[in-house]
Amino acid sequence: MSKLNILIAGPTGYIGIQLIKLLVNHKNVEIKYLCGNSSIGKKVSDYDKTLTKNKLPKIVKFDKKYLNDVEVIFTALPNGEAQIISKSLLKKNTLIDLAADFRLKKKSEYFRWYNQKHKATQNIKKSIYSLPEITGKKVKGYQIISCPGCYPTSILLPLIPLVNKKLINTKNIIIDSKSGYSGAGRTVHKKYKNRNLYESLSAYSVGFHRHNSEIEQELRKYTKKNVDFTFTPHLSPMFRGILSTIYLEISNSVSLKKINEYLTKYYLKNKFIKILKLNKQISTNDVINTNQCFISVCKTKFSNKVIILSAIDNLIKGGAGQAVQNMNLKFGFKINEGLE
């Protein structure tokens, strides 16, 4: 079959650069347009020297006329921008958003957490929140694919199967997540100019991080009730990677082994989820520069409590890799195309 033509809006951020690095190795696509604002007229190799040898178009200002020439639009833009582009989509277009524009299914929730009105409410129904291993081929029926946030990816992959199977107590779940500073984007050094990002660990948005909204939304989808959890994110002195430590309570009828066996069975046919042996210690180093998620179920000193460790690369599995995975599902490509 002929290659899909691709437009990437927002190509110079950490996620945008990572997306380009994956797509230049994808045999089924061709990058037709790179669209930016402050970077117009520049080359992406000005932002990442490893892309110097690739034949990529110069960055131009987005124009909706480009939609006539492409099948897929990836948006890695500030929140609200993909909503504007979505209103100009043609029938032939699929929009895959790496920001938060279509993650929440209620416009009131979007306003509550992002403090801006949704600019394309008519397109919310045309969108799907797609965690590939959970959503699967459902993406085929949607024109707009919303990729989960990086923190929720690391959290929902272990939790959704367990809450759906009623293997854990949905009260008092504690989630402690630590991310590399690339998760805050290229402006991270301006945003946290008074902190030493290279030698310190910082908690932020304690109790009210925006990703609470999508974690709550997706867990409620599978339990049909509110799930009581506390989520605290941290910036770690590393460039990339996320390690989430999740504290859970279980009933006497559920064992550590049962949880591990169920997760292993649930993800048996998934190339990118690896359920490790019980009590295996993991680190972000295990998954850096891959589209993998490593999950480890660990015992505690209490028989009714379990700790789950979940590690991903925030820029790949928590961002660009997941977007490519969703595209592969949508168009029937090999699930690992461009991701090995």
> Same structural domain for residues 165 and 129?
no
In a domain, residue 43? The reply is: yes
Check pLDDT > 80 for residue 58.
yes
Backbone angles phi, psi at 52, to 5 degrees: -60, -40
Average of per-residue pLDDT across 301-327: 97
Statement to judge: residues 48 and 168 lie in one domain: no
Q: Is the pLDDT of residue 2 over 90?
A: no
Give the C-alpha separation, 229 to 249, whole Å.
12
**What pLDDT, on a 0 to 100 scale, did the predictor assign at position 332?**
96
Whether 336 is covered by a domain: the verdict is no
Select from 94, 141, 100 the least CA-distant residue to 118: 100
How many angstroms separate the CA atoms of 23 and 337, rounded?
9
Q: Is the pLDDT of residue 168 over 70?
A: yes
Q: 144-164 burial string, b = 16+ CB within 10 Å, else e?
A: bbbbbbbbbbbbbbbbbbbbe
Asked whether residue 187 carries a pLDDT value surpassing 80, the answer given is no
The pLDDT > 70 percentage for the chain reads 97
Structural domain containing residue 249:
151-314
Section 261-265 average pLDDT: 97
Are 192 and 54 in a shared domain? no
pLDDT tens for each residue of 218-245 = 999 999 888 999 999 999 999 999 999 9
Say yes or no to pLDDT of 188 above 70.
no
The answer to whether residues 241 and 158 belong to one domain is: yes
Contact 338, 23 (CB under 8 A): yes
Q: Tell me, yes or no, whether 253 lies in a domain.
A: yes
For residues 122 and 17, membership in a common domain is answered with yes
Using CA atoms, how far apart are residues 314 and 290, in angstroms rounded to an integer? 10
Same domain, yes or no: 88 and 217: no
Question: Is the residue at 339 inside a domain?
Answer: no
Q: Rounded CA gap, 306 and 299, in Å? A: 5
Residue 326: pLDDT above 70?
A: yes
Higher pLDDT, 181 or 282: 282
| CA-to-CA dists, residue 92 to 4, 69, 73, 316, 326, angstroms | 11, 10, 11, 27, 17
Domain-embedded: residue 252:
yes
pTM of the model: 0.95
Same domain, 94 and 34: yes
User: Of 128-137, 200-209, 309-318, which gets the smallest average pLDDT?
Assistant: 200-209
Q: pLDDT value at position 199?
A: 82
The pLDDT value given to residue 142? 98
Which pLDDT belongs to residue 215? 97
Domain assignment of residue 236, yes or no? yes
Question: Mean pLDDT throughout 52-72?
Answer: 95
What CATH code is carried by the domain that includes residue 131? Answer: 3.40.50.720
Residue 186 has pLDDT above 90, yes or no: no
Whether residue 70 sits in one domain with residue 198: no
- Whether residue 86 is predicted with pLDDT greater than 80 in this model: the reply is yes
Does 143 fall in a domain? yes
Q: Can you give the pLDDT at residue 1? A: 60
On whether both 163 and 128 belong to a single domain, the answer is no
Does some domain include residue 338?
A: no
Q: Per-residue pLDDT tens for 121-157? A: 999 999 999 999 999 999 999 999 999 999 999 999 9
Statement to judge: residues 134 and 265 lie in one domain: no
Q: What is the pLDDT of residue 125?
A: 95
pLDDT, tens digit (0-9, with 9 covering 90-100), for 109-118: 999 999 999 9
Give the pLDDT mean for 248-271: 95
Tell me what pLDDT residue 189 has: 63
- The tally of domains found in the chain comes to 2
Distance between CA atoms of residues 133 and 159, nearest Å? 13
Residues 28 and 52 grouped into a single domain: yes
pLDDT, averaged across the chain: 94
Q: Residue 105's pLDDT is what?
A: 96
CATH number, domain at 301? 3.30.360.10
Average pLDDT over residues 186-190: 67
Among all residues, which ones are annotated catalytic? 150
Query: Are 174 and 231 contained in the same domain?
Result: yes
